[in-house]
Structure 1
């Protein structure tokens, strides 16, 4: 299921059947297994590519995010998604309803109790399957591109963000790892909606918004707090 460089815990099965009858086969990991701290209760996550194997088998690749409740003082096992998973499901459903081409769409969701192999038996294990956006993340690549290539990406990133804001969703985790560029279709998309704010407004200034994403250089901040605040407000 995975290479030695990304070991997969034995409590994550290779094939998962959802309550609606869909079954998905995990193909390969996109991240390692690690604790995440934004939501409650305490949990860990790992992200994979996957494909649907029933009821209608498909060769199309999707992205599956697996989350597992972790032991924590004062918390008991629950079979219910975390706050960040609930938040992401709401965004993915919105994108699905409008058939957005600028963000992932929800394909399926499943929640079950961990068995005795899990870190907190009886606690939740959730599986969120979403469409896989074409292209690659800009993190680690963008500022090595030519000025011409970056100038091509900038208006496309603004277009994607404006489309998402128009749906009442303001991304909070602004980072180039969450900006996907498809050089064939000349289109940007945005991923990772565990954290977002409801909004009734669309940003007025492309430059300022894209500076927050690191796609346009910004003047040095006065201190660390000013730098953080400019990113997350």
Structure 2
């Protein structure tokens, strides 16, 4: 099977499978690792390579489009508590090739990169201590539920330092949410262009990376605007803040219409576009798909949500 076909199969499997089966699947999702052009990376100052390790990488996605990673848009964020652990970072990318004319001349987009890293020493120690505390009880009661929990904990402890080709559950949720948001292109959130799952072939991205672990590239449109921050939001006139609040309400209702309830509730998850008078919700790694949940119902708007999202008047 060619690399391109493998990538396409991986994409379709992750998007079409129910969330529960994706989370528990042991099926391999590896494709041929994507490599950086050595000449480009070597020309970067070492401090830039350390802070933005993927600048200079060229990624070919399953839709055959090719994108070059040009600029880092965020610092590297480490999640070392929930296993498998991962690092993530957002970059600006430039379109080098679009052989199927899928992007209508689009020159720039955004890619979020995620790759597997080791769990923190505190996380590993907590898992080991839990096993030690419960082992004696399980030996006396081998048929209790503790046995199943111990197996899950041993598996987590193993994946805390060993490679896996199956991405973190939050990553799968984020990709699934972006795919659902694709039905509302031009709405109030980014959406999925394409994504690829590869493996880390050798060291060089971060000192806690796990060679052989997953490496995910999520391609999406660049959302225009400015992140809403306390330092300027509360210096706006009340009339302008009222306008942003109403725009946020419209954005949240639009996301709910896609069957998604976001739980990353903070100003940091919002962007304001002054020209379009439009608010965007950005992050979906922590969310609920209420249309896919048995007995799930669409949330109802209350003005209390402005307070939850740190937008309400003091």
If you compute each CA radius of gyration, which structure gives the higher value, 1 or 2? 2
Judge conservation of contact 1:79–1:122 (CA < 8 Å) in 2: yes
Mapped pair 1:55 → 2:98: yes
The count of aligned residue pairs is: 217
| Distance in 2, Cα, partners of 1:148 & 1:98 | 29
Aligned to 1:70: 117
Give the aligned CA root-mean-square deviation in angstroms: 2.4
1:86 aligns with 2:172: yes
The unaligned stretches of length 5 or more in structure 2 are: 1-40, 120-156, 291-296
Matching of residue 186 in structure 1 with residue 277 in structure 2? yes
Q: Specify the alignment match of 1:222 in structure 2.
A: none
1:10 and 1:117 in contact (8 A); partners too: no
Separation in 1, partners of 2:92, 2:71: 6
Counterparts of 2:65 and 2:247, CA distance in 1: 34
Q: Whole-Å Cα distance in 2 between the matches of residues 27 and 150 of structure 1?
A: 34
| Preserved contact between residue 56 and residue 70 of structure 2 (Cα < 8 Å) | no
TM-aligned CA distance change 1:47 to 1:94, over 3 Å:
same
Larger deviation, residues 140-149 vs 11-20: 11-20
Structure 2 Cα separation of the partners of residues 203 and 40 of structure 1: 33
Q: Secondary structure of 2:218's match?
A: strand
Q: Secondary structure at the match of 1:192?
A: coil
Mapped to 2, the partners of 1:77 and 1:12 lie a distance apart of 24
Asked if structure 2 preserves the Cα contact closer than 8 Å seen for 1:11 and 1:115, the reply is no
Are residues 47 and 74 of structure 1, via their aligned partners in 2, closer, same or farther at CA, if it must alter by over 3 Å? same
Q: 218, 243, 247: which is aligned to 1:152?
A: 243
Residue 189 of structure 2: aligned partner: 103
- Tell me the distance in 2 between the aligned counterparts of 1:210 and 1:86: 28
Q: Deviations over 1:159-210 (max 9, x none)?
A: 11011112221110111111111100111110110000133223231x2111
Superposition map of 1:27-66 within 5 A: 27-37=70-80, 39-56=82-99, 58-66=105-113
1:53 CA drift (Å):
1.3
Distance 1:145 1:15, change over 3 A: same
| In 2: Cα distance, 1:96 partner to 1:11 partner | 26
Greater strand proportion: 1
Question: 2:286 aligned with 1:195, yes or no?
Answer: yes
Aligned: 1:114 with 2:205 = no
TM norm structure 1: 0.84
In the alignment, the residues of structure 2 paired with residue 201 and residue 68 of structure 1 have an alpha-carbon distance, to the nearest angstrom, of 33
**1:168 aligned residue (236, 240, 259):** 259
Q: Which moved more, 1:167-176 or 1:16-25?
A: 16-25
1:124 is aligned to 2:167: no
